[in-house]
Amino acid sequence: MPGARFIISTRDGRDVVASLNKRYDDPEKSFARWVRDTAASKSCIERGDSLVWRYEDFISNPPDSLRSVCDFIGVTFRPEMLDYHEKPVIWGRQRSVRTEHSLRRWSLVNQPITDYRGIWRTNLPQGMEERFATGEARELMTFFGYGH
């Protein structure tokens, strides 16, 4: 798409896989999805005109992180943007039937900024941590600035 700009949000892959595994209950499927999605994000970044927005940076400093997004898209940052959770939105309004997934999304969209960094330390399936230290997973973790 000519002229398109992309905001690529990223998060420590170990945390992503731990989170996905709660949904899928399948460590291999969770890992494969993270690799596929993250490789696609890397490819988009390499084409240019993208902003990498790291979850960990947002949690560490929400105003500066959001300001960088605003600058990228040409919108003036206002501190009250961080008060979004005070006026909840309805997720999946077009659906007449609420699913467990849509209810979960609604709760996530409307919660205050919450620190989920490092959940992998207790929630990553056994043996999965080593998968991030080799091959394509290691390359992706390094590309996005995550240590091993």
pLDDT recorded at residue 88: 79
Count of alpha carbons within 13 angstroms of residue 48, beta-carbon side: 2
Radius of gyration of the chain (CA): 17
50 near 10, Cβ under 8 Å? Answer: no
Contacts (Cβ under 8 Å, ≥6 apart) of 145: 54
Query: Whole-prediction pTM value?
Result: 0.86
Contact 12, 117 (CB under 8 A): yes
State both tokens at 112: 């205050």
What pLDDT, on a 0 to 100 scale, did the predictor assign at position 106? 77
**pLDDT, tens digit (0-9, with 9 covering 90-100), for 105-145:** 777 888 899 999 999 999 999 999 999 999 999 999 999 99
pLDDT for the residue numbered 130: 94
Question: What's the rounded Cα separation, in Å, for the pair 21 and 123?
Answer: 9
pLDDT for the residue numbered 101: 74
In 74-99, which ranges are continuous DSSP H helix? none
Contacts of 97 (CB under 8 A, 6+ apart): none
Residues of the chain with pLDDT under 50: none
